[in-house]
Amino acid sequence: MISIAVTEASGVAEARRRATGVAQALGFETTAAGRVAIVATELATNLVKYATGGEMLIGTFEDDTGTGVEILALDRGAGVSNVADALRDGHSTGGSPGTGLGAVKRQSEAFDIAAWPGRGLAVLARVAAAPRPPGASLPVPRWGAVAVPLRGETANGDAYCIRRRGDGWTALVVDGLGHGLQAAQASEAAVRVFREHEHESPGCIVTAIHAGLGHTRGAAVSVARYEPGRGTLVFSGIGNVAGAIVTDGVVKRLVSLSGTAGLVARRIQEFEYPFMSRSLLMMCSDGIGTNWTLDDYPGLAAAHPGLVAGVLYRDFARARDDATVLVVREAGA
C-alpha cells in the first residue's frame, strides 16, 4: 500500500493524484476514476481540517466482494463522540458544508468508520470499477489487510496471501529478513511456494517454503488454516510473524517456533486452536507491536476486517520496519 502523510493542504492533491493513479492502473474508466478522486479528496481534506498525525493508505482489494481501490484514512486526533452525526449531511464542526463523509460513503461500494473520543478516527472506503446495482447485496467481507513498506523504501519486504478452501481458507503472512528489495524477493518466493502447495497441511506448506527459500536471504513465515467442519484453526510458523485469535475480547496468542525459513528451522510443528463464528484471526509481521488488545477499541471487532487492520497498523506500527496486518473472519461470520 502507498502511505501518504496528510498534514497540510498539499497532501490533499498528492492523495488524490496517487489514488487516481492506482485506479487508472486497474483500468478504471473516467467516471469510476472520478469517484476514487472524490473519495480521496474528501478523506484527505478531513485529515487536514480535523486530524492530528493524519495518514492515508491507498492500495487495491480483490476478494469475494469484488476488485477495486481501497483507501484508509487514519488519524490520532480527538476522535468523535457520535459517528452517526459525523456521517449526517450538514453536520460540521469546522465551518464546512458537512457533506464530506456522507459523500465518501455514497461513492463507495464498502465503507466503514471507527472512532473513540480521544483515540482518533479511522475510515475505510472501497471503490469498484463498476458500482453495484441499486439494492444489490454486498457479500460479507471475510478478510482485510494493511501492508506498508518501511518509509523511504519502494519494495515491501512483507507479503500475505489468502486462499479459499471449500468453506474455509488458508492464510499466509511472510516477513523477509530485513527490508528492501532482497527482503521482498524472499517474500515473493514464499508466496509462490504457498500457492503451489496451498492444498497441503499448514506444516507441509511451511516445510515447502523453508526448502524453497534457500536461494534468498530468508524470512519469517506463518500459515493458518480454518477448518469449519471441525471448528478449528491449524497454525504453523517459523520466526516472528505473530498470530492471535480474538474471540469475545479474549486474545489467544498462537505458537510460532524459532528459526528463519530458508536458513534454519530445527522444528516445524502444527498447533490447533478453537475457532468460532465470533472469532478473528490476526497475523502480524514484526513491524507491528504485539502489546495490542481490542478491549481498548469497543466495537472494533465487528468492523470491516480491513478497518481492524488499519487501526492496529495506526497504533502499533514500528517505524523501523515494513508493517503488515492480516485480519480474517470465520467463513460464515
Contacts of 261 (CB under 8 A, 6+ apart): 174, 190, 206, 209, 210, 213, 218, 219, 220, 221, 238, 239
Q: Can you give the pLDDT at residue 69? A: 97
Looking at residue 83, its pLDDT comes to 63
Angle at 328 between CA 311 and CA 218, to 5 degrees: 85
Are 273 and 255 in contact by the 8 Å Cβ rule? The answer is no
> Who's near 104: CB < 8 A, 6+ residues apart?
38, 39, 42, 43, 111, 123, 125
- E strand intervals along 75-210: 110-115, 121-128, 143-148, 158-165, 168-176
User: pLDDT digit string (tens) for 167-226?
Assistant: 899 999 999 999 999 999 999 999 999 999 999 999 999 999 999 999 999 999 999 999
248, HSE (Cβ side, Cα atoms, 13 Å): 4
Domains, the chain, ordered by start: 2-128 (3.30.565.10), 143-329 (3.60.40.10)
- SS3 state of residue 117: coil
The values of phi and psi at residue 6, to 5°, are: -120, 90
Please state, in angstroms and rounded to a whole number, the distance separating the CA atoms of residues 126 and 71. Answer: 6
Whether pTM > 0.95 for this model: the answer is no
Neighbours of 31 (CB within 10 A): 10
> Which residues does residue 62 pair with via DSSP β-bridges, in sequence order?
67
pLDDT beyond 50 at 294: yes
DSSP annotation of 26: T
- Residue 22 is placed in which grid cell? 492506482
Determine contact, residues 68/128, Cβ cutoff 8 Å. yes
- Residue carrying the nine cell digits 477499541: 297
Tens-place pLDDT, residues 235-255: 999 999 999 999 998 999 999
Other CB atoms within 10 A of residue 333 CB: 15
Rounded distance, CA 255 to CA 259, Å? 13
pLDDT at 101: 85
pLDDT digits (tens, 9 = 90+) for 150-170: 998 989 999 999 999 888 999
Q: Which of 11, 303, 10 is nearest to 2 (CA)?
A: 11
Distance CA 40, CA 44 (A): 6
- The conformation of residue 4, written as its DSSP 8-state character, comes to E
pLDDT at position 64, please?
79
| Angstrom distance (rounded) from CA 48 to CA 55 | 10
Q: What is the DSSP letter of 288?
A: B
Three-point CA angle 38, 14, 17, nearest 5°: 55
